[in-house]
Structure formats: structure tokens, C-alpha cells
Chain A
Amino acid sequence: MTTRPSPEWLEAFQARFSQMLRTPLDRRSGTLRASPASYDPRLARDAVRGAKLSSPERLAIYNRQYWFRLFTVFHGAFPLTTRLLGHFCFNEYASRFLLAHPPKVWDIDAVVDGFEDFLVLALPSPTVTVDPRGRSVERAAVLQASRIDAAYHHVFRAPACTAFRPSAGDAERLLTSRLQPSPAAAVLEEDWPLCELRRALLGDPAETPAPLPPRLAQPRHWLLVRSSTKIGQLPIEAQEARLLALLGLFPVGEALAQLEQECGPVERDLLPARTQKWLARSVEHGLWVGLSDQ
């Protein structure tokens, strides 16, 4: 649809206002503050000064509101990552991400898309300093937390999908075909008890960094599966997780062969029965939406 063009002044006005909105908040005082002095003077001149506030201070309300509204969305989508870093430190990474990837669509929940990949590039190694006293958290734990948060976010937002129920005909071509993963399911791996921590922190209003629990003796794996309104989290074995990962990459026959190759002799004997059980379980939980010959 095309309506009459907007008045010429409107685009210039909105460019100045947008620039003001996206002016980063100043962190130097230890809290996030707007910097009204840095706004475009043309915008500040046009804004009416009232009895209560100067015009730049009035604009600053929008500047702060812009950032804090988006930070709140990030905190909701990445609750575990937020608390491992603490709000103040997390907001710094969220700001940098938003400056590099400004929101483009009406869907405010989409503003976080790609944040976990951004952190891979942005976080220092091997640790991230999370407060002025120099406390730090392992980079690997923060990245793992961000992958867990992102998985929850994507699984929740996945569209309705019909789970794959193999027919007799499918059984014949199963080994040479690829299973198509459902967007409403994900496999998680953790080296720290992060999923437990995530559950414990939900609803906790604190903004300070939460201590990272001790590293697990062995990595743990979980399956996230969404029903019509909720996400279920089920424990799975390491080898089952590996099979699911391989099934995402290769045709079923190749994935099974690869898994077998990775096993020791004792495990290899047990493998056929176990893989059959795991495959059946993956179908039962709706991890696949179809079979592809490509």
C-alpha cells in the first residue's frame, strides 16, 4: 500500500530523535545514566522546556526508556546469562549487541536473536570480570549458559509442528535418509549444573552476579521438548545426546555408523539395543518433523 509521502521534515526529525534514543547510557558512575548534553542540539532546541524539566532532560526519559525496555527483554530471554554476569555487566554486552544489531521488526522478542553468537566474539578469554571488585566468571560457563538460554527461547518460540510418525514405507528408507529436527526441541549439554541454577534463579529479583557452582565431574545432557504450552526438560545419556547430534548432521545409517566408530568394544556390543531405544524415544518425544532423502 502506498499513501501520500510523509512531510519532508518528518524523516529528518525522526532521524534525530532515533539517534537520541540509541545514544548509549553512560556507565562510568557505576549506574546507567543518560547523557543529555550529547543529544543533537537541533532536537533539544525544538523540545519545549517545561517548568519541571529542561528539554534535554525530557528527551533523556525516552533515551533511558529505550535501553531499559530492551534490557528487560534480554533479561527475560537470557535469565541465566544475565545472572552469571550480573545485570550491570550483562547490560554492557546487550548494549553493544543492540548497537551492532538494532531491532528491525515489530516482534520485540526477536531483538535477542543472535546474541549467543555475538557473545562468542565479544566475551574476553578465559574469564569475564563481572564487578568492580574484580570478581570474574569463566567465559566457557557464560557461553554455555547463553546457549542454554537461547535454546529455551527458540524452543518456546517455535511454531506448531507435526511430529514425525514413521510409516512402514519410511522404515525402508530410514537408514539412507535424514531425520529433520523439530524446532520445538533441543539438546543441551552442561559442564556446570547450569539448568538447575537457571530454574533456581527464575523469579529471583536480585541483579548481582550469581556464583557459578562447581564444575560437574562429567558433562550432563538434557532434552528440551515443548508441548502445546510448556517446555519439558528430560535427562538423557551422553551417548544419546551424541546420537541426536549426529542425526542432525548425517543420514541415519551414517550417524549410527559414526557413533559405533566412536565407541569402545564393550559399548559397541550394547549399542544396537540402545540406539533402537533412543531412536524410538526421540520419535515418541516428537524430536523430528519428517524424513528427507537429501
Chain B
Amino acid sequence: MVVKRQELPRDALGLGLRIPHYGYLFEHWPELGYFEIISENFLGDALPPRRHLDLVRERYPIVLHGVGLNLLGHAQLDSAYLDKLCWLAEYVNAPFVTDHLCWTGAHGISHHDLLPTPYTADLVGMAAERAAFVQRQLGRPFGLENLSSYVEFDSSTLTEWEFYGAVVRDSGCWSMLDVNNIYVSSQNHDFSPEAYLNAIDFSRVLQVHVAGHSRESNGIIIDTHDHPVADAVWRLYAEAWRQGGPFPTLLEWDDHIPPMPEVLSELAKAARIRA
């Protein structure tokens, strides 16, 4: 039997699925457009995560968000990992799958972090070819997330948004636009977040992420996902919506996670902002 791939309404609001919310979720099943899961949390063989996922997928659409593809790693993509990802996407009938435009490991070591590179024209072709391959394997839209970062490199010949836009365009894939990441990087590297946003082709935006961050005493902003979304990020979100809405919007909260009603209330701000 061929199962039709789910699609999300363009104005859907979603949340990152997190374990501390399971108690509330499984009791109340709040109204929500969709959940996003961290792919790697469900790729393994462990039974409990799978059973929890089964409960959620019966009631909500689920999209996949990965942190381990290593698209910009010097080595070839891990085909065993990709096979598992394809399986999971089918299992939850994901409307789409996303991961980051970054590297996460090298020389056989996985760093479990989202790491920056110099942005150069010769990297665009490799990244685009790999992303296109991933999308073909998945058989569904594949979105690339722009990175938040704390360092840039002199050897870059492109701005981050030029690099990001070129990879999305040349691959035929999609943008998973994180407006908090734009803001974090803009503050850390002294560029205009609006300039970044103006360079985005909104016809290719698959989903937008919002999240909180933390400002250190030295002025650097760390992408911690442990606070409510900052006002400046909501303003950037409003501008993105004005320029390119509607698009599915997802709130990520990964540390110091408050009770689910509080997180849902933070997400509801998105609906108010764009009303």
C-alpha cells in the first residue's frame, strides 16, 4: 500500500518534542499543528523511545530534525546513518526532514556539535551535491538549517548568507530558516540580521525555527535554547513573516525546559505576532 506523504498547513505551529513534556502531553494531548523530533533520538534500537514516538505519531504530524548528517564533513556521507534516517522518515510519514549546513565530525570522530567552516565557492558544489542526494534518498523535501556560530574565518570568500543561499539554490533543497540563529550570529559577528533576511529566497523556506538564547558577560550570545524567545528575535520573525509568510513555525526549547503549558504559551506569541 502506498501511503500518501503528510503535508503541513503553511501556517502550522509546532514544538520540538522533549522528554520532560511527556507526562503532560500523554495526559492532555494539547492542540498543536505538529511536533519536530531530533532524528538521532529515535534512530537507535531502544524500545522506550520508539513506543513514545508511536503514541505521538498517532495524534500529530511529525517532522524530523537531524544533528548528525555531517553534510560539510571532509569525508563522504555515512550511508548507514542515511539508511536509518530514510527508515525513520517513512516510519513517521514525515512531511519533511531537516538538518544543518555544517560539519559534526572528522577523521572518524563524531564531535556531536554543529561546527562552522570557512565559506567558499568550492564548498558550495560539494554541499549542494550531497544535499540533493540526501533529498533524493529521503524521497521528500529536505531542508538545510542556517548555523549559529561564535567564530568566522578569514579564509571565507562568501558571506554566510551567500553560501547558504547558493547551497539551497544549487541543491534544489529547501531552507530551514532559524531566525534565532541569524540573530545570534549577527550579534556575534557584527552584521545586520535584516541583510541576512533580505537575502533569503522565501519561496524555498520549508520551516522557520525560533528559540531562546543566552548573552554572556563578554557580550557573546550562545545559542542555548534555554530561555523564552528574545524580543529582538520575535521582531526578526515578524519581518520574515512579512517578507515571506506563511511558513510552518517551530519553537525549540532544549535546556531548563519549563512545563509544557508555558512552552505552548511562548509558541502562541508567534500566532499573535503574525495576526
Contact = CB atoms under 8 A, between A and B. Distances in A.
B46 interface: yes
A121 B111 CA distance: 25
Interface string A97-135: 000001111111101000000000000000000000000
Given A15-B107, A46-B153, A103-B109, A4 B126 contact: yes
Interface string A34-60: 000000000001111011110101110
A287 interface: no
B112 A103 contact: yes
B57 interface: no
B189 A50 contact: yes
B152 interface: yes
B58 interface: no
B190 A62 contact: no
| Chain A CB within 10 Å, residue with most, of B46, B72, B78, B120 | B46
Contact of A103 (B110, B190, B222): B110
A226 B47 contact: yes
Interface stretch (A63-71, A167-175, A236-244, A261-269): A63-71
Contacts of A46: 118, 153-155
Interface residues of A, number: 54
B48 A47 contact: no
B265 interface: no
Interface in B40-84: 40, 43-48, 50-52, 68, 72-79, 81-82
Contacts of B126: 3-7
Contacts of A157: 44-46
Contacts of B27: none
A18 B74 contact: no
Given A13-B118, A69-B112, A111-B112, A2 B76 contact: yes
Given A50-B190, A66-B111, A1 B151 contact: no
Contacts of A70: 112
B133 interface: yes
Contacts of B219: 52-53
A10 B117 contact: yes
A11 B74 contact: yes
B44 to A, nearest CB: 6
Interface in B197-237: 218-220, 222
Nearest to A2: B76
Contact of B108 (A65, A104, A106): A104
A103 B105 CA distance: 9
A294 interface: no
A216 interface: no
Nearest to B123: A7
B115 interface: yes
Given A4-B129, A228-B51, A18 B111 contact: yes
A48 B113 contact: no
Contacts of A218: none
Interface string B137-157: 100000000000011111100
Contact of B76 (A3, A14, A66, A104): A3
Given A1-B79, A14-B74, A106-B78, A156 B48 contact: yes
B153 A47 contact: yes
| Chain B CB within 10 Å, residue with most, of A21, A52, A103 | A52
B129 A3 contact: yes
A9 to B, nearest CB: 8
B109 A47 contact: no
Contact of A107 (B43, B72, B75): B43
Given A13-B118, A62-B150, A106-B78, A228 B133 contact: no
A235 interface: no
B192 to A, nearest CB: 15
A159 interface: yes
A84 interface: no
A62 B51 contact: no
Nearest to A154: B46
B152 to A, nearest CB: 4
A157 to B, nearest CB: 4
A14 B116 CA distance: 10
Interface in A242-269: none
Contacts of A226: 47-48
A156 B52 CA distance: 13
Contact of A229 (B51, B82, B110, B122): B51
Q: Which 5 A-B pairs have the closest CB atoms?
A: A159-B45, A14-B106, A106-B68, A11-B74, A58-B151
Given A10-B117, A229-B51, 10 more contacts: A3-B77, A3-B126, A14-B74, A21-B113, A21-B115, A52-B218, A58-B151, A103-B112, A104-B110, A228-B48
Interface of A: 1-7, 9-11, 13-15, 17-18, 21-22, 45-48, 50-53, 55, 57-59, 61-62, 65-66, 69-70, 102-109, 111, 156-160, 184, 226, 228-230
Interface of B: 40, 43-48, 50-52, 68, 72-79, 81-82, 103, 105-113, 115, 117-118, 120, 122-123, 125-126, 129-130, 133, 137, 150-155, 188-190, 218-220, 222
7 contacts: A47-B152, A50-B188, A61-B150, A159-B45, A160-B50, A226-B48, A229-B48
